[in-house]
Amino acid sequence: MRRPCVITAAIFALALFVGACSKSSEREPGDFERMRIQQRDEPYAPGELFANNERLRQPPAGTVSRESESDTGAIGSGMQAGRMTAVVPLSITPERLALGQRKYTVFCAVCHGAGGFGGSIVAVNMGAPRPPSLRSAAMAAKAPGYFFVIATHGIGRMPGYAPQLTVEERWAVVAYIEQLQRSTTTPPEARADSLRALGIRRIDSVLASEQRR
């Protein structure tokens, strides 16, 4: 009767002693969280592996992206035979225009306004040079390649949007800007017909959105 009690008490005491010996400060950091904090690299987390103390790597200086290298034609560069491409080199479908509108609203409307007239809140807050209207006659006269090159590399104060937008998305934006410009240069009835010819439905709402400032 007596002996099991003594043995149990001894085991408890030993366990307590061993537990107290390893202070939490002596453990590896995160030892209690071994399951929650794993060795997998979280994006953006700091790390000791590389010299810059980041887990995301910077490409070495002078790196050329595969996308831009494999696409030196009209689609990848917006240039053809040394001049700006005069037509959008991808087919213009209603889906592509819808993609272009979505991406335009996110990435360009901030500064150039929802309808492309310039004068968004940000543009008003910005000092000169302000984001210009994309629907002026001078802008409408530019080739689509011009807008593609600017969307890719930026101009002056405006940054390039190549990291944010894929090549296809950039052309979709250009195609959408072209449609915006046409809505300035064509009378409303002819505009409705040309939208119908592109296979676009709900013409009224499209016409309304094109005039939004």
Sites of contact with ligand HEC (CB under 6 A): 107-108, 110-112, 122, 125, 129, 131-132, 147, 150-151, 155-158, 161, 173
132 binds, among ligand HEC, other proteins, none (CB under 5 to 8 A by kind): ligand HEC
How many residues does the structure list for the chain? 213
Neighbours of 151 (CB within 10 A): 26
Min CB(43)–other proteins separation in Å: 5
Q: Cβ of residue 12: shortest distance to ligand HEC, in angstroms? A: 27
Question: Among 10, 144, 35, 132, which Cα is nearest to 87's?
Answer: 144
Least Å distance, CB 122 to ligand HEC, is: 4
| Number of alpha carbons in the 13 Å side-chain half-sphere of residue 186 | 16
Q: How far is the CB of 131 from other proteins (least distance, A)?
A: 9
By CB under 8 A, the residues from 38 to 57 that bind other proteins are 38-40, 42-44, 46, 52, 54, 56
Name the residue number minimizing CB distance to ligand HEC. 156
The set of long-range contacts for 206-210, using a CB threshold of 8 Å and a minimum separation of 24, is 207/183, 209/101, 209/114, 209/115, 210/115, 210/179, 210/180, 210/183
- One character per residue 87-116, x = contact with other proteins (rule: CB under 8 A): ------------------xxx-xxx-----
Shortest Å, Cβ 102 to ligand HEC: 12
From first CA to last CA, the distance across the chain in angstroms is 91
DSSP 187: -
If 0-12 CB within 10 Å is exposed, 13-18 middle and 19+ buried, where does residue 173 land?
Answer: buried
Residue 100 or 144: which CB sits closer to other proteins? 100
**Residues β-bridged to residue 211:** none
Helix (H) or strand (E) holding 80: strand 79-80
157 binds other proteins (CB under 8 A): yes
How many residues bind other proteins (CB under 8 A)? The answer is 31
Applying CB under 8 A, which residues contact other proteins? 35-40, 42-44, 46, 52, 54, 56, 58, 105-107, 109-111, 120-122, 125-127, 157-159, 163-164
